[in-house]
């Protein structure tokens, strides 16, 4: 167990937890847009937060790389062409713990959704007054705002959630967000796993992580984001009740969690698939 629980594991898991929680919290911008009737501003803040959280994942990759380097370097020093099965098992366990930290981050973001809603509503109104995103962000440091955020901390009610009209949410949104959440959860992790499955093409395997996440980004832009935005627009035009937006946010959180759990099942197959794909670029 001491081989598994190393400093870089805690760094990667902690950062993954935080970034996943922030990405989930960004869904609150949809509710803030309906509450304030400032859809464009809310979507802009949503895009800002999501972009910032995805950039933050760049800090996870050095820790992932260090974890993958340990068994690869050991194999190189022992003049072996492949990583030892025991070392590969340690890496597998570490990567699964990192993916699991993302699942916990999704749960944390869902539980803190009332706080994120207050934060986005405050952000939209502050931006309207100042016309500046940095100024709106600095307002979050105001003691009165922090007090309001602290008062918003509460466990979401399951009884309230059960009364939401989930049948009104399109099935393609449910399926699409589940699949995309699975891809995002393992895109980079599977690439580093693959780098130790094929030591002769480590750099190629790691480089393919961008391709995997790129496909996920395109799919999100095609299937999830437009559908959720359309539901918000219909609500603002009084074509849907506000409860549909709340139901949509709950569905997005739930499917994101399911996606990160499913990621555990497809982690190794995805890594093996990426490792096999490296043969298209590296000829022996």
Residue range 206-257, pLDDT digits in tens: 877 777 777 777 777 777 778 888 888 888 888 888 888 888 999 999 999 9
Query: Domain of 86?
Result: 7-280
**What is the pLDDT at residue 57?**
72
List helix spans (H) across 112-241: 113-130, 133-138, 143-151, 158-162, 171-197, 202-219, 225-236
**What is the pLDDT at residue 253?**
92
Taking the CA of residue 177 as centre, how many other CA atoms within 13 Å lie in the half-sphere pointing to its CB? 24
Residue 141 has pLDDT above 60, yes or no: yes
Share of the chain above pLDDT 70, in %: 85
**What is the pLDDT at residue 99?**
93
Q: Per the domain annotation, does 1 fall within a domain?
A: no
Q: Per the domain annotation, does 46 fall within a domain?
A: yes
Tell me the mean pLDDT in the region 61-77: 81
Share of the chain above pLDDT 90, in %: 12
Tell me the mean pLDDT in the region 189-203: 83
Q: Chain-centre distance of CA 234, in angstroms?
A: 26
Indicate left, alpha or beta for 37 from its phi (over 0: left) and psi (-120 to 50: alpha).
left
Q: Per the domain annotation, does 2 fall within a domain?
A: no
Number of structural domains (the chain) is: 1
Q: Per the domain annotation, does 213 fall within a domain?
A: yes
Q: What is the pTM of this model?
A: 0.85
**pLDDT tens digits, 106-132:** 999 988 888 888 887 777 777 767 666
Tell me the mean pLDDT in the region 196-205: 78
**What is the pLDDT at residue 130?**
66
Instruction: Considering only residues 152 and 95, tell me which one the structure prediction assigns the higher pLDDT.
Output: 95
Q: Per the domain annotation, does 260 fall within a domain?
A: yes
Q: Per the domain annotation, does 204 fall within a domain?
A: yes
User: What does the block give as tokens for 63?
Assistant: 């820790």
pLDDT band at 133 (very low <50, low <70, confident <90, very high): low
Q: Per the domain annotation, does 169 fall within a domain?
A: yes
**pLDDT tens digits, 163-187:** 888 888 888 889 889 988 998 888 8
Residue 264 has pLDDT above 90, yes or no: yes
Q: 191-220 as b/e, with b when 16 or more CB fall inside 10 Å?
A: bbbbbbbbbebbebbbebbeebbeebbebb
Of 2-6, 25-29, 121-125, 198-202, the least confident: 2-6
Q: What is the DSSP letter of 78?
A: T
pLDDT band at 259 (very low <50, low <70, confident <90, very high): very high
**What is the pLDDT at residue 149?**
65
């Amino acid at each position: 167990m001491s081989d598994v629980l190393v400093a870089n594991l805690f760094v990667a898991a902690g950062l993954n937890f935080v970034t996943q929680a922030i990405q989930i919290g960004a869904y609150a911008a949809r509710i803030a847009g309906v509450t304030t009737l400032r859809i464009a501003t809310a979507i802009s803040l949503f895009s800002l937060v999501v972009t910032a959280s995805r950039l933050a994942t760049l800090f996870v990759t050095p820790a992932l790389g260090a974890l993958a380097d340990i068994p690869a370097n050991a194999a190189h020093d022992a003049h072996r062409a492949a990583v030892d099965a025991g070392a590969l098992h340690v890496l597998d366990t570490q990567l699964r713990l990192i993916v699991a930290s993302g699942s916990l981050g999704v749960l944390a973001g869902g539980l803190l959704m009332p706080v994120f809603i207050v934060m986005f509503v405050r952000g939209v109104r502050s931006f309207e007054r100042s016309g500046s995103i940095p100024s709106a962000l600095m307002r979050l440091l105001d003691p009165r705002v922090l007090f309001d955020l602290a008062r918003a901390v509460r466990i979401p009610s399951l009884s309230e959630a059960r009364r939401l009209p989930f049948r009104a949410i399109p099935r393609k949104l449910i399926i699409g967000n589940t699949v995309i959440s699975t891809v995002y959860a393992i895109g980079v992790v599977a690439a580093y796993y693959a780098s130790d499955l094929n030591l002769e093409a480590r750099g190629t395997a790691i480089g393919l992580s961008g391709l995997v996440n790129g496909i996920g980004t395109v799919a999100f832009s095609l299937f999830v984001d437009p559908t959720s935005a359309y539901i918000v627009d219909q609500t603002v035009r009084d074509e849907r009740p506000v409860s549909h937006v709340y139901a949509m946010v709950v569905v997005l959180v739930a499917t994101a969690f399911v996606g990160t759990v499913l990621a555990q099942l497809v982690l190794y197959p995805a890594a093996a698939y990426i490792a096999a794909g490296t043969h298209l670029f590296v000829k022996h």
